[in-house]
A and B are shown apart, each in its own frame.
Chain A
Amino acid sequence: MTPAEIREEILDILEDISPDDDMENLDDEKSFRDQLELDSMDFLDIVMELRKRHRVQIPEEDYGHLASMNSTVTYLEPKMKDIVKS
């Protein structure tokens, strides 16, 4: 997956977790926590959804990388580059 595709995938997961939020105005620089009011349970869900959908494993000590869209995509790029977008 390209960084743009990874971004799409993360958006899709966020829409799944929080269907009432408008993702159009998401600022990729700013933290998810502040924009979408995600809490630790929601972050666990992002991790779990990535594992469910793409078998990507994210160890607990790396959860901090999932703070914003940009940091998440950067972190996931090496882990997901060989995955073919379906």
Chain B
Amino acid sequence: MSGLAAGIRLAHFDQRVCILERHYTIGGLNSFYRLGGRDYDVGLHAMTNFASKGTKKGPLAKLIRQLRFRWEDFKLAEQVGSSIRFPDVSLDFDNDFGLLEQEVAEKFPSQIDGFRSLCAALLDYSDMDGDDASFMHSAREVMANHITDPLLIEMLLCPLMWYGNAREDDMDFGQFSIMFRACYLEGFGRPFKGVRVILKNLVRKFRGLGGELKLRSGVSRIHVEDGRAVGVVLDDGTELRAKRVLSSAGNVETLRMCDDISEVDVARAGKLSFIESISVLDQLPKNIGFDRTIVFYNDSERFHWKRPEHALCDARTGVICSPNNYIFDADEGQLPDGVIRITTLANHDRWCGLSEDKYRAEKMIQYDAAVESAVRFMPDFRRHVIDTDVFTPKTIRRFTWHDNGAVYGAPDKQLDGTTHLPNLFLCGTDQGFVGIVGAILSGISMANRHCLQP
């Protein structure tokens, strides 16, 4: 997605651009697939950074302008409302920030002033180039300067880590600020037909500008001569020459492809990966009493954001999403099926170490475990399930090719996008912003900064 966005910028300004994708479909983590006659999204639960049509400021407005889209191309239905559920306490939020404020004031009356001062201390999007000294501070420490109830800190962190934190346990304050704005201040939306709408628009625009997109064309090597990237070699041996190379493969993954590097520090790759348990229901979730767009749950007072070391999965915390629970326009109607998606933490290496039979069996076992954990925080929907699918860290790796199937890439971001080579740059997850809007903005800003400045 970041690659397509960068490609559109460059092709618009008359550069010759070729985008190379290893998979047979586009989108990376934010892709989609069809199974048993039904459409599924890979990454998309919600698009963060919601803004209504005509908004001037903010990431969504910026990307629409920069890519010369119309608001209609990114038409989003707003969320019905989401919740953060911990034992004995729940906070609701939606696209009107007033609701979360009110919820904090009601459930944590002694903390509301601290919550407001934390909001005032958030970094601005304009401070996101990493130059601000507090960008790399610990979000937990900054929060503790404002909020004294540890439970509220855990609850506020839970959705933000789930939707965009590559680091275990803690979060960089800069990343925290980005995610706080994206999720709480701006909110969630969804194109009626899911992520494919956005991908289709990006591809159409890119091709319309003369850009070339090659699928099943994995880059195996970046060819380096005299300290410069001179081109790429594809998996089938074809070599393409280029003046500049932008890579969305990830930091460690990109360096490993360079001819001039024999070893990379794999310890720097991200570790957090997920499994997603998808249930298709015989009716809409709201008919069985579930009206939430997203529920972020955690079954103890302490939120554990870590790769499970000794198990395939950790279902103590998870995200429950219903793509039905958005406010779609009357002429759009409703999605063809009721769907509940549950995301829980998973260990990539353990999943990849399973034999084919065991892998298939474990998908069923871990699906059951995820659903059993989730129904403690929502109505039990199990007798309404008519179809299921599960994707694992192995699937995520196939779509993203990231080490460890790391959903949000490496914990240490390369915010300026530079590498050891003067004409090789990073975009996407490991440059900085995550999520759909984040990926697109990453591509735009790296294209502007490294390939368009006169």
**Could you tell me which A residues sit within 8 Å of B by CB distance?**
16-20, 36-37, 39, 41-42, 44-45, 47-48, 51-52, 57-60
Q: Determine the interface band of chain B, counting residues with CB < 8 A from chain A.
A: 10 to 19
B282 nearest CB across to chain A (Å) = 43
Out of B54, B66, B448, B454, name the residue touching A20 (CB < 8 Å): B54
**Could you tell me which B residues sit within 8 Å of A by CB distance?**
13-14, 53-54, 56-57, 62, 65-66, 68, 70-71, 444-445, 448, 452-454
CA distance A47 to B445 in the complex (A): 16
Out of A37, A44, A57, name the residue touching B452 (CB < 8 Å): A44
Chain B: which residue is nearest A48 at the CB level? B13
Pairwise interchain contact A37-B65, C-beta atoms closer than 8 A: no
Q: Which residues of B are found within 8 Å of A41, using beta-carbon distances?
A: 62, 65-66, 444-445, 448
- Please report whether the interface of chain A is mostly helix, strand, loop or mixed according to DSSP: helix
CA distance A41 to B125 in the complex (A): 13
Interface pairs (5), CB distance under 8 Å: A37-B57, A44-B453, A45-B65, A48-B452, A60-B454
Out of B14, B65, B454, name the residue touching A18 (CB < 8 Å): B65
CA distance A44 to B54 in the complex (A): 21
Pairwise interchain contact A44-B448, C-beta atoms closer than 8 A: yes
Known: A37-B56, A37-B57, A41-B62. A19 touches B452 (CB 8 A): no
Q: Which residues of B are found within 8 Å of A45, using beta-carbon distances?
A: 65-66
Q: Which residues of B are found within 8 Å of A47, using beta-carbon distances?
A: 454
CA distance A44 to B418 in the complex (A): 20
CA distance A52 to B13 in the complex (A): 6
Pairwise interchain contact A42-B454, C-beta atoms closer than 8 A: no
Chain A: which residue is nearest B69 at the CB level? A19
Q: Which residues of B are found within 8 Å of A42, using beta-carbon distances?
A: 65
Known: A42-B65, A45-B66, A48-B452. A20 touches B57 (CB 8 A): no
Pairwise interchain contact B14-A52, C-beta atoms closer than 8 A: yes
Q: Which residues of A are found within 8 Å of B70, using beta-carbon distances?
A: 19
CA distance A16 to B66 in the complex (A): 10
